[in-house]
Amino acid sequence: MWKKSEPEETRPRSNPGPQTAQTQPVQPQPEHTVRNPAPQLKEKAMIGPSIAFKGELSGEEDLLIEGRVEGKIDLPRHSITVGKSGRIKADVYAKVIIVEGEVEGNLFGEEQLVLRQSSTVRGNIIAPRVSLEDGANFKGSIDMSSKERTAPAPSSAHQPDAQGGSVASAGSKPANSYA
């Protein structure tokens, strides 16, 4: 009986209702994909190919650089993309850094750093995740150590012994003590 009731429940649902319900939501989905890129483009600033900037650049939005920048770029909570025509002589600090053009300076990515095939980078890279595409031109060092890996020093009240246990420093001396 249970097997017979299961197909009966699925048949009425699949025949009349869901076919019309499935075709109607399909049309609004392309509208959602059209709406999503528009806000992203509004939040991304751009330095065009004819613009040259010297000094310290900071802000609170994503940045696309197609021009020339010399100095320091600091967007610690946002992404920076150096486009194919972008030329940077600066230290760059950002959440995510994507390089397609040329950078001469150190790159500090909070989350990720990507060097595309067309990129040329002369400087050190510090980021927990680094990606170099085949053909990327890079000269420098890469440091992928994370801030979270640094553990605090153990307290002076308890010190670990050779077996991994904890030994109290007051009162008794451990067997492996040289004092």
What is the domain range of residue 136? 40-147
Residue 12 falls within a domain, yes or no? no
The answer to whether position 28 is within a domain reads: no
In a domain? residue 15: no
Helix-then-strand count for the chain, H and E: 4, 14
0.85 exceeded by pTM: no
Can you tell me whether residue 125 is helix, strand or coil?
strand
Distances (CA, A) of 86 to 68, 93, 98, 101, 149: 6, 16, 11, 5, 34
User: Is residue 16 situated within a structural domain?
Assistant: no
List beta partners, residue 69. Answer: 53, 88
pLDDT tens digit sequence for 32-79: 444 444 344 456 899 999 999 999 999 999 999 999 999 999 999 999
pLDDT one-digit tens code per residue, 140-152 = 999 998 665 333 4
Indicate whether 160 belongs to any domain: no
Question: Count of domains in the chain?
Answer: 1
Any domain includes 114: yes
Is 110 a member of any domain?
yes
Question: Considering the domain boundaries, does residue 172 fall inside one?
Answer: no
